[in-house]
Amino acid sequence: MSSANNLSAMIRTLRYEARGIMSVELVPTEGGSFPPFEPGAHIDLHLSSGLVRSYSLVNSPGERDRYVLGILADPKSRGGSRFIHDNFRVGMTVQIAPPRNNFALVEDAPHTVLIAGGIGITPILCMYRRLSELGRSVEMLYCARHAAQAAFVDELHALGGKLTCHFDEAHDDRPADLAAYLAGKPAGTHAYCCGPAVMLGAFEQACEAAGIAHVHLERFAPAPDAAPPAAAASGYTVELARSGKSVRVEPGATLLDSLLAAGADVQTSCLEGICGTCETRVLEGCPDHRDSVLSAAERATNKVMMICVSGCKGERLVLDL
């Protein structure tokens, strides 16, 4: 959905980065600066097709005059990335939402390990650049099935540092051994991974085996064990504190559909509980969390919820809407 907080941006550059991947450079339509962002942040693109899609920011956070995205023409696209590749042109104006960050970087960690798989390079490149600029202890593993599918490799090499590239085609089509890569890392290491679900699962197992406690990941799709969107079993009431509305979620209905039907002003993007666009403060009640964004500790506080997939465990919710 559109929002009064949206920004107007012009497409200044479209660039081929790798097979199926292009970068999109956006600049403020009226000149000036964009809002600041931190490594790991993403923005929503509001497409003229009516879709809203989230993409990580690739460029340096110090650059306030532009945002750069890396976008894969996903063969399994639900319409967003394919629309962008087919329809974006230099000089076009697009609406974007201000940056948000569900994948924040701890910049003062004693040591950082960054692992990217395929298009997962987009937030990881931003992190690697930032830590390199700060002179922090960091190493990075970049994985792709084929070298031709690996974007931003030249930028990574230009940054120097401890960078390893693993292309399956050069290793008899075998993926990188994450357990071996993560074994023996220094105490206090923070490990980050962005990539396909199979890689994220292997990453979590490898971190556990290596005794790495500070584990950070970002998903492109819901976690494999994520429950389906919460449909009300017996119905419940949702009170919207700011608007004063009361919305009834009937048995079998979802919270999001009920809110939209009632005309509530809600922001959504992925509709899968992975991007954080719909994060909403919970003032009262117990959410039925179904997202793949919040940690177990964050869920336990019941202070926020992702309303696109989550619901209510009781008879009443009060939301900051």
Helix (H) / strand (E) element for 43: namely strand 42-46
Q: What is the structure's pLDDT at 4?
A: 65
Q: Which domains does the chain have, with CATH numbers?
A: 7-96 (2.40.30.10), 112-218 (3.40.50.80), 236-319 (3.10.20.30)
| Ordered strands of the 52-56 beta sheet | 52-56, 42-46, 93-96, 7-18, 21-28, 67-72
pLDDT of the chain along its 321 residues, tens only? 446 689 999 999 999 999 999 999 999 999 899 999 999 999 999 998 788 899 999 999 999 999 999 999 987 777 789 999 999 999 999 999 999 999 999 999 999 999 999 999 999 999 999 999 999 999 999 999 999 999 999 999 999 999 999 999 999 999 999 999 999 999 999 999 999 999 999 999 999 999 999 999 998 778 877 888 888 888 999 999 999 999 999 999 999 999 999 999 888 888 889 988 899 999 999 999 999 888 888 899 999 999 999 999 999 999 999
| 3 state SS of 178 | helix
Q: What is the structure's pLDDT at 3?
A: 60
Q: Are 182 and 212 in contact (CB under 8 A)?
A: yes
CB environment 243-273: b (16+ within 10 A), e (fewer): eebebebeeebbbbebbeebebebbbbbebb
Distance CA(116)–CA(124), nearest Å, equals: 6
Q: What is the structure's pLDDT at 170?
A: 96
Q: Are 212 and 189 in contact (CB under 8 A)?
A: yes
- Interacting residues of 38 by C-beta distance below 8 A, sequence separation 6+: 61, 99, 101, 104, 105
Q: What is the structure's pLDDT at 37?
A: 98
